[in-house]
Structure 1
Amino acid sequence: MDAGGQRDARGTQEPAGQPAAKGSGLLFALATLACVAGIAASYYFFVRTTTGQYIDESALVEAGELHGPAGRATTRFLDLLPGISLAIAAVVVLFVTLARRRWTAAGITVAACAAANLATQLLKDWFPDRPFTGIQTLELNSLPSGHTTLAASAAAAVFLVASPRWRPLAGFLGGSFAVAAGVSTLVNQWHRPADVVAGFLVTGAVMLPAGWLIMRTGNRWNVWGGHREHWASSRLWLMLSVLAGLISAGVAVYSLLRIAPFGLGIPGLSQEESTTNYFWAGVSLIVITGYLGTVTATWLFGHAARRRN
């Protein structure tokens, strides 16, 4: 180490920078607690209440209306999803580990991925079966979605081992992959929207503490030069995630207004027999949750990283 900085494991000089942002540990803790609270709220509302069950089950039933070519495509995608997820995570993590010698980060990431998927299976078994509240539905509990957790944790693994300048791009691509997996489980009628949302939240609850540990143990290479440092760091990737979320929010509001009692007095939006409105509201909920997690993680890790002088 000299006055200009310190050297990494390959002998390459690492630029000096400011320490990680103060208070970032608290932000990671709050985000983790928000995920845990979200899991509990999703289970209580969508599984334990009549209204939640009706909304969730209606989205699942209406998905059958679109189960034509889209259903066949998503079936193929879901069949390949475990292999795709594991291959993406394994190749990227292995490459980064060997090329950059981030052994500690790789170990933490692999352990967190395994923990997230194990937690999903344990929660699915631990949560009681769906109680009968007057809604005709399968009693077997399906929350959280295992396929969604697998896809989201694989995307999170790539995000965690990537350098800060690559994380905005990795976040957008990984978030899009996880959202596509979640929507596919709904289109294929494998899972209800709440199952997918819970899968995202379980992933966040496990991967966020792992990410903070990586930031603490890998402080030397977690150096952030800002959004103008590299094309993969561009704000464009955050803006695309925000745009997808806003569009989905608009779709959700419109769909829910179409099925709200009396149309809330809005002309042209009187209550009607729903055909796919619950489905589109469910899809929107999945997209909003997935990209909200993407934006939050990208900002949080960028905020926590050391700054270049």
Structure 2
Amino acid sequence: MSSRQSTNSSTRQPRAARNPALFLLGSLLCAVALGWTYWAFVRTSTGQFADESAWREAGFAAPDSQQPFLQFLDSLPALSVLIAAGVILFVTLRRHRWPAAVIALGTIVGANLTTQLLKNFLLDRPDRGVPTLDFNSLPSGHTTLAASAAAAIFLVVTPRWRPLAAAVGGTYAVAAGAATFLNLWHRPADAVAAFLVVGAWTLLGGLLTMRFGNAWNVWDGFGEHWAASKLWLTFCWAAGVAGLALGVILYLYVQMIGPAPVPGTARIPLFFWSGLSMIVGVGFTLSAAAGCLFGHQARRREA
């Protein structure tokens, strides 16, 4: 009798990712936001002007930052692959999470392949009368690689480590996106689009990771471990919301007072600060949202 009750109790225990629709909806929202970013900052003259102005203003707003960021960008591909491969290999060999490792690698490949297809084959950059480069650069490949490497680590670690992984990985991804902007490799929208590509793939990969790794996607909730502290996600939310708010306010202010007639000739580089703020805002907001969703969708350990 007690064995039957125990079996029934175990049957009633919710699985990890008990609301798969949330992951699918989140992935869809990232895709929609990606499409809007492309339309707003590539297909329209106003968006092209703002994005191009931010890129040109970066050249004189932060000239001393380019050399160290160039060194960071040069090492970024190898560093991203090395970090992600090291963590995935450790988890696979020591914890025997083979499905999670395959899904994490698939997330990296899927995100980077999507970026290359979008940038080089599917999306174009129409002439809207803005003096700019005539080829499309959205999304950023370097930013996608860095963010997807961080996302892969986020997927394979246990729930207690995910809040920390979200904060550290988000910081790494934002630093990569900001570096491509400050070093004049990409416009702000390129980095934002890369975050959204990775966000969409991470949510799909996360759903599979939790369903195939139901046994180890379990925890006692936020605060059970120092890496599971809510402070990590609080930091991400604070940086993300502040970045988004500042970016939008600066953008609207420039539009209200009227931008400079030629991109990059403004006396105060407000488009630059708006673009940099948006990179910070989107990167950390996605990290915070992922940390919260994965935390609430992990199984709770039975008392």
Q: TM-score, normalised by structure 2?
A: 0.90
Q: Distance in 2 between matches of 1:58 and 1:156?
A: 31
Within a 5 Å distance, the mapping from 1:1-309 to structure 2 comes to 18-20=13-15, 24-256=19-251, 258-262=253-257, 273-309=266-302
| Structure 1 residue 291: Cα displacement | 0.8
Q: Which amino acid aligns with 1:73?
A: P
Gap runs ≥5 in structure 2: 259-264
Q: 2:261 — aligned with what?
A: none
User: What is the percentage of aligned positions where both structures have the same residue?
Assistant: 51
| Structure 1 residue 247: Cα displacement | 2.9
How many residue pairs are counted as aligned between the two chains?
Answer: 291
Q: Which amino acid aligns with 2:37?
A: S
**Alignment deviations for residues 12-58 of structure 1 (CA, whole Å, 9 cap, x no partner):** xxx99932367520100110000110111111111110111011101
Q: 1:10 — aligned with what?
A: none
Q: Distance in 1 between matches of 2:222 and 2:96?
A: 25
| Structure 1 residue 250: Cα displacement | 4.4
Q: Residues 75 and 144 of structure 1: is their aligned pair in 2 closer, same or farther, counting only changes over 3 Å?
A: same
Q: Distance in 2 between matches of 1:57 and 1:192?
A: 7
Moved more, 242-251 or 138-147: 242-251
Gap runs ≥5 in structure 1: 6-14, 264-271
Q: Which amino acid aligns with 1:50?
A: S
Q: Which amino acid aligns with 1:126?
A: F
**Alignment deviations for residues 250-275 of structure 1 (CA, whole Å, 9 cap, x no partner):** 43255335423248xxxxxxxx9443
Q: Alignment partner of 2:170: what SS?
A: helix
User: Contact 1:66/1:187 (CA < 8 Å) preserved in 2?
Assistant: no
Q: 1:9 — aligned with what?
A: none
Q: TM-score, normalised by structure 1?
A: 0.89
User: Contact 1:255/1:278 (CA < 8 Å) preserved in 2?
Assistant: yes
Q: Distance in 2 between matches of 1:236 and 1:41?
A: 31
Q: Residues 262 and 57 of structure 1: is their aligned pair in 2 closer, same or farther, counting only changes over 3 Å?
A: closer
**Alignment deviations for residues 58-89 of structure 1 (CA, whole Å, 9 cap, x no partner):** 10000001343211111000001001100110
Q: Distance in 1 between matches of 2:177 and 2:58?
A: 13
User: Contact 1:24/1:303 (CA < 8 Å) preserved in 2?
Assistant: no
Runs of 4+ residues deviating >6 angstroms: none
Q: Residues 16 and 169 of structure 1: is their aligned pair in 2 closer, same or farther, counting only changes over 3 Å?
A: farther
Q: Residues 233 and 20 of structure 1: is their aligned pair in 2 closer, same or farther, counting only changes over 3 Å?
A: same
Q: Residues 274 and 257 of structure 1: is their aligned pair in 2 closer, same or farther, counting only changes over 3 Å?
A: farther
**Alignment deviations for residues 79-102 of structure 1 (CA, whole Å, 9 cap, x no partner):** 010011001100111111111110
| Structure 1 residue 226: Cα displacement | 0.8
Q: Which amino acid aligns with 1:278?
A: F
User: Contact 2:150/2:172 (CA < 8 Å) preserved in 1?
Assistant: yes
User: Contact 2:17/2:207 (CA < 8 Å) preserved in 1?
Assistant: no
Q: Distance in 2 between matches of 1:16 and 1:170?
A: 31
Q: Distance in 2 between matches of 1:47 and 1:127?
A: 13
Q: Which structure is higher in helix share? A: 2
Q: Residues 245 and 22 of structure 1: is their aligned pair in 2 closer, same or farther, counting only changes over 3 Å?
A: closer
Q: CA RMSD in A?
A: 2.3
Q: Alignment partner of 1:260: what SS?
A: helix
Q: Which amino acid aligns with 2:204?
A: P
**Alignment deviations for residues 168-201 of structure 1 (CA, whole Å, 9 cap, x no partner):** 0001000000000000100001001111111011
Moved more, 15-24 or 83-92: 15-24
Q: Residues 262 and 120 of structure 1: is their aligned pair in 2 closer, same or farther, counting only changes over 3 Å?
A: closer
